[in-house]
Amino acid sequence: MLPLDGIRILDMSRLLPGPFASMILADFGAEVIKVEEPGLADYSRWAPPFYGSLGVYFSNVNRNKKSVTLNLKSDEGRTIFRRLAADADVVLETFRPGVVERLGVSYEDLRKDNPRLVYCSLSGYGQDGPYRDYAGHDLNIQGLGGILSFINRGEGHPIVPGLPIADYAGSLWTVIAISMALQAREKTGVGQYIDVSILDCIISLLCRDSMFHFGGTEPTDSSFYGEAPRFNVYETADGKYVTLSALEAKFWVNLCRKLGREDLINANERNEDRLTSHKANREEIFAFLRGVFKTKTCDEWVRELAAADVPCYPVLSIADVFRDPHVLHRKMLQEVEHPTEGPIKQIGIPVKLNGTPGEIRSAPPGLGAHNHDVYGAMGITPERQEALRAAGII
């Protein structure tokens, strides 16, 4: 048994934030029916690189799902969707605010026939407020959410991060919100509407970094932003890099003793002093550490400092991550058999429930691969399905 067995989700989302969220729910047993526009579909299907004809990006966030095609701009398409929603537990959509109302598939439209429906709208800025109609992507939202003001601060200016942090924050909060709404439904017997703003989600990640602002100071002298020698990245003799995180006093002491620099130990250091950037002699310490780390290879430093109980580990490439013995042991690289492309790689399931663990059960679906099954279960005959297909409705 999986935790979400018996939960049916109609997923109208595409690209990353919505599909990543619905995939997590599918991994734990939900029946996710991906509702795609005929022909165009989820754009990520057509994004390179490919496993043969299957987009790898699409593959990475759409396993364990079914796919049906449906034209929601047609009257009959909307009728079919409303029939599907009458038996669904969850609807997930990522259109701009107002679109589902114009299509006639909003929460208010659907809950009349299904008061137990949980309906989640995931958007950049939420369903209300001055920015509700703004267009935007992850980078815009990271900027508005304050994240870019301190990421890689050492460069002297905001830079583009390599990870869509805002999108992922929106995905994960969507999973939490839907799970909580389903749990609430168990108690109340009725569903509810969920408004997830990706901007709100990324602001929620500022619980640590807002402490300076809330405390009436600015983070001008902090280890968190690349200004502290004891919490930084260093190049090694072989041109690789290690991360040093000797924040707590015990780790800093271990490092200094290992490197023969006991003079850098502050015997009166308190726990909160781990936030310091050693302003008085920062450049001297930086120069020493940059020099000493270049005297040995990455593997040598990791091995020696781990033995000395110093948190110092390699900066891995993505290729190295999926060769790492710990990552493989934790089953964070898996394979699933695709009907036309053979075995394809998948990122594993990060949380391990010992009683009801998630599982990768099926490869990402072909466009409309489940039209026959899903529409047939509704009583739409194969002949009628063919007529709807020819008319561009499915």
Evaluate whether 70 touches 93 at the Cβ level (below 8 Å): no
- Nearest CA-CA partner of 28 in 57, 6, 58, 60: 6
373 is catalytic: no
Q: What value, to the nearest 5°, has the Cα angle with vertex 47 and ends 44 and 51?
A: 105
Contacts of 213 (CB under 8 A, 6+ apart): none
Evaluate whether 35 touches 82 at the Cβ level (below 8 Å): no
Evaluate whether 353 touches 4 at the Cβ level (below 8 Å): no
Helix (H, G, I), strand (E, B) or coil at 38: coil
Give me the catalytic one of 167, 195, 238, 309.
167
- Nearest CA-CA partner of 231 in 211, 251, 213: 251
- Nearest CA-CA partner of 89 in 69, 119, 112: 119
CA distance 306 to 246: 12
Stated length of the chain: 394
For the annotated catalytic residues, the residue numbers are 167
